[in-house]
Structure 1
Amino acid sequence: MVGTFAHIVKNTGFTGLYSGLSAAMLRQITYSTTRFGIYEELKSHFAKPTADSPTGSPSLLTLIGMASASGFIGGIAGNPADVMNVRMQSDAALPPAQRRNYRHAFHGLVQMTKTEGFSSLFRGVWPNSTRAILMTASQLASYDTFKRMCIEKAGMADNLGTHFTASFMAGFVATTVCSPVDVIKTRIMSASHTEGGGQSIVSLLRDICRKEGLGWTFRGWVPSFIRLGPHTIATFLFLEEHKKLYRKLKGI
């Protein structure tokens, strides 16, 4: 990981570490907004008091089902920006002659559509949607479950400490669950037609297992957790404060 950072800085300077920032922001606007919005709407619809759950908290299986549906739709909505994010980040590690040199996410979307067709924006949409399902289910459903356990089992209050603890554990679960799909998704999205971009998922899996063994499933877990762990914590802390402020303004 340190060697990769050094290689990027050597090739493109310190700013190379922030390649793809515009694409990452566009991805969050499309992907995360969609999945969080749909999940919260479904959760509020199914959150009805029952004999087993007087507070109206949905069961774990219900949470996983709602999160999976939300993640699938979010994965499709955010796929074009995700392709840009992968390509712009990988550009910094490539030799100058092989770089695509997208100026920003929208420039990349236009260039990619012109040179590779509209369908290229949805390259890797199925592994990406699968990853979005796993991410949303493991992240959102596990966060709500860990939060409930902290409050009901550990006697913790519904405060910042509980939110931090639950989000940290959710980030660990999400990184572990999504690691294999992340490897496949990145390899498909970073490829072009001339680099084997049309290779099927089954063929890709067969080649990876033959060349690298089963160790590929968790390749890059540490940098993934370094990124996803703080991201998950910040996301849920902000979401909880946002919901608290919204309820206060609405008098709920």
Structure 2
Amino acid sequence: MSSTDKLPRWYFGGLASAIAACFTHPLDLIKVQLQTRHGEKVSIAPMTVELVRKNGIMGLYNGLSASLFRQLTYSTTRFAIYDMTKIYIGKDISFTNRILVAAFAGAIGGWIGTPSDKVNVRMQNDVRLPPEKRLNYKHVFHGLWRVYKTEGFSKLFSGGATASVRAGVMAVGQLSFYDQIKKLLLRTSYFKDDLTTHFTASFGAAAIATTLTQPLDVVKTRIMNAKPGEFRERNSFMDTQS
């Protein structure tokens, strides 16, 4: 391999995801608020104003520690598996194989990140609850310990199947489509391997990934935020519809 070949640095993927979470966390919190309001019709702007009025601007960052820990576990794992497998297979990996590798990498990462994802969802939902009904997790490790002590170890992974499927689909949209879109762009005379191309491919892949995972994301959020016994674990996909 020549010195000019660019090798992927999978750990940069986890770090970049964690940095991005610092900027997108308020939007993610608002998304969770919308997803957990069963049947309620509410607009984003009034809801955001209400949250800030009740909790202050920092209330929009509730659960940030859990979001960061999730990215450092889930995203780092999926990038590591995906990029290292691509290196092993070689440059001529087909789009179909990219999809399969991305789905596998995302599913494994999603399962590993389930406990911190669960704490993140609960901390984000806490800000809309009355003070007496809040879980009041101080940070991700406090939340993980509380779930373990009060609900049992297995509950740390409740919603894990849905999270894994969702993460697998997300990885397909983000990773395999990113590579494919970038490859198609570089075949034209308008793009070269620079920041513009990477941004364009990332934007397109993100739009595809979000569209693919939105239904699963709603199911995952509701399962993770559910009270013990609210949804039957074996039929969690169907129970969230009832």
For 2:215, the aligned partner's letter is: P
Of residues 160, 168, 171 in structure 2, which corresponds to 1:136?
A: 171
Give the Å deviation of 1:2.
Answer: 1.3
Of residues 65, 73, 79 in structure 1, which corresponds to 2:100?
A: 65
Q: Which residue of 2 aligns with 1:94?
A: 129
**CA gap 1:104/1:197 in 2 versus in 1, 3 angstroms:** farther
Give the Å deviation of 1:61.
Answer: 0.4
Of residues 27, 32, 55 in structure 2, which corresponds to 1:12?
A: 55
State the distance in 2 between where 1:29 and 1:121 align: 17
Q: Which structure has greater helix proportion?
A: 1
Q: Which runs of 5+ in 2 are unaligned?
A: 1-43
Give the Å deviation of 1:10.
Answer: 2.0
Q: What is the aligned-residue RMSD (CA, Å)?
A: 1.3
Of residues 13, 35, 57 in structure 1, which corresponds to 2:78?
A: 35
Mean CA deviation greater in 135-144 or 6-15: 6-15
Q: Which residue of 2 aligns with 1:110?
A: 145
Q: Which residue of 1 aligns with 2:68?
A: 25
- Give secondary structure in 1 for the equivalent of 2:113: helix
- Give secondary structure in 1 for the equivalent of 2:128: coil
TM-score, scaled relative to structure 1: 0.76
State the distance in 2 between where 1:192 and 1:68 align: 30
Asked if structure 1 preserves the Cα contact closer than 8 Å seen for 2:231 and 2:240, the reply is no
- Give secondary structure in 1 for the equivalent of 2:193: coil
Give the Å deviation of 1:98.
Answer: 1.3
State the distance in 1 between where 2:189 and 2:236 align: 43
**CA gap 1:107/1:202 in 2 versus in 1, 3 angstroms:** closer
The number of residue pairs the alignment matches comes to 198
**CA gap 1:96/1:42 in 2 versus in 1, 3 angstroms:** same
State the distance in 1 between where 2:232 and 2:240 align: 14
For 1:198, the aligned partner's letter is: R
**CA gap 1:154/1:89 in 2 versus in 1, 3 angstroms:** farther
TM-score, scaled relative to structure 2: 0.79
Taking only the aligned residue pairs, the percentage that are identical comes to 44
- Give secondary structure in 2 for the equivalent of 1:193: coil
For 2:69, the aligned partner's letter is: L
Q: Which residue of 2 aligns with 1:124?
A: 159
Say yes or no: does 1:160 pair with 2:195: yes
Q: Which residue of 2 aligns with 1:78?
A: 113
Give the Å deviation of 1:201.
Answer: 2.1
For 2:55, the aligned partner's letter is: T
Say yes or no: does 1:146 pair with 2:189: no
